[in-house]
A and B are shown apart, each in its own frame.
Chain A
Amino acid sequence: MGFLCNWCSYAGADLAGVSRIQYPTNIRIIRVMCSGRVDPTFVVDAFLHGIDGVLVLGCHLGDCHYITGNYEAEIKMSSLSKLLNIVKFSDRMQLDWVSAAEGNRFAQIVSEFTKHIQELGPSPIKENKTKTQCIDDLEAVKSVLESSRLRGLIARQRDLVTEKNVYGNQIPAEKFENLLNDAIYNEFVRHKIVIKIKEIGKSVPDIANEIGIKAKEVLEHIVVLRSRGLVDVHEINEEIPTFISIRGG
């Protein structure tokens, strides 16, 4: 599946047609006005619906019809890619640039990406063995991307690193990067916990086991989640508390 901006990449795809350049039939294109319109959750939704690979194509940097749209796309997709990396989906997504004059380049990107995805094989979400795990993972990624916490951070990234804040100091790009990486990872684990204990209450060691991280880490996240009102104590079994997600929290 490909998300193409109207002005450059979609035009490039049209030009490939006008020039009769042949490429694999696998791609289905969704037209958006700008690559910056692509909400990262769209990409996750595509994976959740069994799509094997997603291309997001925009104008070359600096050439966006809406001036800064593709810079925004780059920022969004880089955070998305970090999250997808945790759940091993990141090499099924690619952001690239195609100008209206690059019919050839468009066809080449599609051909190479199709080949790449064919090498990876069908999405693990379509295999019984890995299905539930994938759904849980991707749902967690999606809910992180929907959370106002991360969206807010991403939305202000360009501002925070390029412009001085009210105190007159600028956040160095590197520092922001670290901050964002931590936030992305922590939020992912937290959302995953919430999903794991959606239906049944589970104890800290059990959760730690299922997710594959240290119990201490789980506990720290549970504390945060409780303070956000997302998780509460379910019951206490032989002095070991189990926790459960609060609906609508």
Chain B
Amino acid sequence: MSSEDIRIGVFICHCGTNIGGVLDVPSLTDYARSLPNVTYSADNLYTCSEVGLTEIKENIKEHELNRVIVASCSPRTHEPLFRAICQEAGLNPYLFEMVNIRDQDSWVHMKEPEKGTDKARDLIRMSVYKAALLEPLERVKVAVTHSAFIIGGGIAGMTAALNLGNQGFKIFLIEKEPELGGLLNSLNKVFPSNEDASKLLEIIDMIESHDNIKLYKSSVIENITGFVGNYNVVIKQNKKTINIDAGVIIVATGAIPLSPEGYFGYDKKKIISQLDLERLLKDDQVKANNITMILCVGCRNEERRYCSNICCMSAIKNAMLLIEKNPNTHITILFRDIQAAGTDYEKYYRRAREMGILFIKYLPEKPPIIKKDLVDVYSDLLNQDIKIPQDLVVLSTPLIANEDSEVLAKMLKVPLEENNFFLEAHVKLRPVDFATDGVYVCGSAHWPADIAESTSQANAAASRASIILWKDQLEVEGSTAEVKTELCIGCEACIRICPYSAITKDEETDTAIVNKVVCKGCGLCGASCPKNAIIIHHFTSDQIRAEIFTYGGEI
């Protein structure tokens, strides 16, 4: 720490009555002013309003503040805004700290205003001591390769490719199968419009003839390295190894329908899957009059807790198509719950009921029993067993994650959720991003999605990706790790622990070095280094200890 004068400004927010209605904000403001290094403190009605922000900027200038603290809501939502304001006022954005006295204080201690105010006092004091140790950090700049690498040539991958290709970016689209199209190749007609799946696949021609799209069919990914703006992918096509440079990567690897092998005596003849039915319908090969469909086969159970999202609608669709073709067909759908949300899908479901399709709810603990020519099912509603004649049983199974998703996730350094689907950075705020910058996800790779969802996610992923692709240079997060070379003994523990392979060894000095562009600042290496040779900027051990000591005090 240099010996410069530390001048901290503390701004405490009322958030209307959200904070001010519970905590004693004026007393907190006075308290803040009494703390070491605090030059200025004030309360604001709404710190994030235009008035509040202007006040911060003016006071930075007027009082020559070189550290700013805002005590208000959560840094998870508001830190970027306040940092930007500091920057506008000429202050390094890393000289800013936030204290959470709303989400983690006034809102959760509404009945204990005094104790809540005590807590806020402690939190502000901790922050003031940490702030004194903050250092200005630089955001590193990197150049961007203006091309995208897209994994998976299903409807999602193709939609994203077309979107970015039409914006003028170079696209590399890889498909492991010999043909594009993914699952749609096996489908007959698609809900809710009931148009032919082949009609939607006309996009394949546009992709194949597109000037900006380079296709690699029957190809597999061997390795992925690099970082946002500068990924390098090695793929293999017919024993030929190809190197590809791309600024962004989009994962559109889809999912696969679970084979009902082992469920309800699946035999592919009289007891078939919904996917088998799609193929039979396509070839007009269905010969049955009494058809029973069973939903949620192999999902929403202990092994797979999730709902596969698309099966209810697919079953309803095929039931209707069968009746349209032969009005004498009797169809019974055995369900647990029907998922048909939204105006279109609900309408679709109603129409199915009007057409005479019978819907019976079964209980998972009393599953239907398939006998020769009959299905026996206990109806909870009627409180009795029902016998339904059948000459064809169709099982709806969930979409499950690709087998190789773990390998791919490792190469991309992105997480999977418990069912091995790809896990986004934030379910609501960043639904198609990964935490790893420059990597996106769309379609069923993320979660079983229907076509409408897959294409909207694909367009979303493409537009997120284009934010990066349109730039010539990127600024990356400044709070990263740094190795103090003089302390490092080259034990390589950090190299193995870093989830992003951000650390390498400088062979000459035999010490570790961090690639600032790749490092995410997670801190794992710092907490592990045997020699304490790694500084985790913005969350340094000294800064964290300052918070601990300030709260604990001397004993």
Contact = CB atoms under 8 A, between A and B. Distances in A.
B530 A152 contact: yes
Interface in B76-125: 76, 100, 102-105, 107-112, 115-116, 118-119, 122-123
B104 A50 contact: no
B108 A50 contact: no
Contacts of A37: 522-524, 526-527, 536, 539
Interface stretch (A89-97, A154-162, A173-181, A236-244): A154-162
Interface string B393-416: 000000000000000000001111
B330 interface: no
Contacts of B500: 66
B555 interface: yes
A33 B551 contact: no
Contact of A107 (B108, B479, B526, B554): B108
Interface in A36-53: 36-40, 42, 45-46, 48-51
A45 B549 contact: yes
A17, A148, A156: most-surrounded residue (chain B CB, <10 A): A17
B423, B494, B524, B554: most-surrounded residue (chain A CB, <10 A): B524
Contacts of B531: 148, 151
Interface string A16-35: 11101111010011111110
Nearest to B547: A30
B528 A14 contact: no
Contacts, number: 177
B491, B521, B548, B553: most-surrounded residue (chain A CB, <10 A): B548
Contacts of A13: 103-104
B515 interface: no
Nearest to B491: A152
A159 to B, nearest CB: 5
Contacts of A152: 491, 493, 530
Contacts of B494: 155
A125 B104 CA distance: 28
Interface string A127-152: 00001000000000000001011011
Contacts of B545: 42, 45
A40 B74 CA distance: 26
A154 B416 CA distance: 26
Interface size class of A (residues with CB under 8 A): 35 or more
Contacts of A63: 415, 417, 423
A1 B523 contact: no
Interface in A176-190: none
A221 to B, nearest CB: 21
A51 B108 contact: no
A139 B417 CA distance: 40
B493 A20 contact: no
Contacts of A40: 527
A6 interface: yes
B415 A64 contact: yes
B497 interface: yes
Contacts of A7: 435
B200 interface: no
A20 B18 CA distance: 11
B123 A34 contact: no
A229 interface: no
A34 B552 CA distance: 22
Contacts of B414: 67
B112, B493, B541: most-surrounded residue (chain A CB, <10 A): B493
A151 B536 contact: no
B237 to A, nearest CB: 29
B415 A51 contact: no
A173 to B, nearest CB: 18
A19 to B, nearest CB: 9
Contact of A46 (B418, B493, B548): B548
Nearest to A5: B522
A28 B524 contact: no
A10 interface: yes
Interface stretch (A68-76, A201-209, A211-219): A68-76
Given A25-B112, A64-B415, A156-B493, A1 B548 contact: yes
B126 A28 contact: yes
Interface residues of B, number: 66
B352 interface: no
A65 B110 CA distance: 31
B529 A159 contact: no
A36 B491 contact: no
A48 B527 CA distance: 19
Given A13-B103, A32-B539, A155-B528, A25 B522 contact: no
B268 interface: no
Interface in B39-65: none
A29 B497 CA distance: 26
A29 B104 contact: yes
A155 B103 contact: no
Contacts of B529: 151, 155
A30 B100 CA distance: 10
A65 B100 CA distance: 21
B107 A20 contact: yes
A40 B536 CA distance: 15
Contacts of B496: 155-156, 159
A66 B107 CA distance: 29
B74 A32 contact: no
Nearest to A37: B523
B75 interface: yes
Contacts of A50: 552-553, 555
A75 to B, nearest CB: 9
Contacts of B108: 16-17, 20-23, 107
Contacts of A17: 74, 102-105, 107-108
Contacts of B522: 33-34, 36-37, 65-66, 69
A18 B103 contact: yes
A22 B111 contact: yes
B523 A65 contact: no
Contacts of A23: 108-109
A17 B425 CA distance: 21
Q: Lowest 8 A-B CB distances belong to which pairs?
A: A49-B552, A37-B523, A17-B103, A148-B530, A155-B493, A17-B107, A151-B530, A66-B522
Interface of A: 1, 6-7, 10-11, 13-14, 16-18, 20-23, 25, 28-34, 36-40, 42, 45-46, 48-51, 62-69, 72, 76, 100-101, 107, 125-126, 131, 146, 148-149, 151-152, 154-156, 158-159
Interface of B: 74-76, 100, 102-105, 107-112, 115-116, 118-119, 122-123, 126, 413-418, 423, 425-427, 435, 479, 489, 491, 493-494, 496-497, 499-500, 520-524, 526-532, 536, 539, 541, 544-545, 547-549, 551-555
15 contacts: A18-B103, A28-B551, A29-B100, A30-B126, A36-B522, A37-B526, A45-B545, A51-B552, A62-B417, A66-B522, A67-B415, A72-B528, A151-B493, A155-B528, A155-B530
Given A1-B552, A37-B524, A38-B527, 19 more contacts: A1-B548, A16-B103, A25-B116, A33-B539, A36-B524, A45-B548, A46-B548, A65-B435, A66-B435, A67-B415, A67-B499, A69-B522, A107-B108, A125-B555, A148-B530, A154-B528, A155-B494, A155-B528, A156-B496
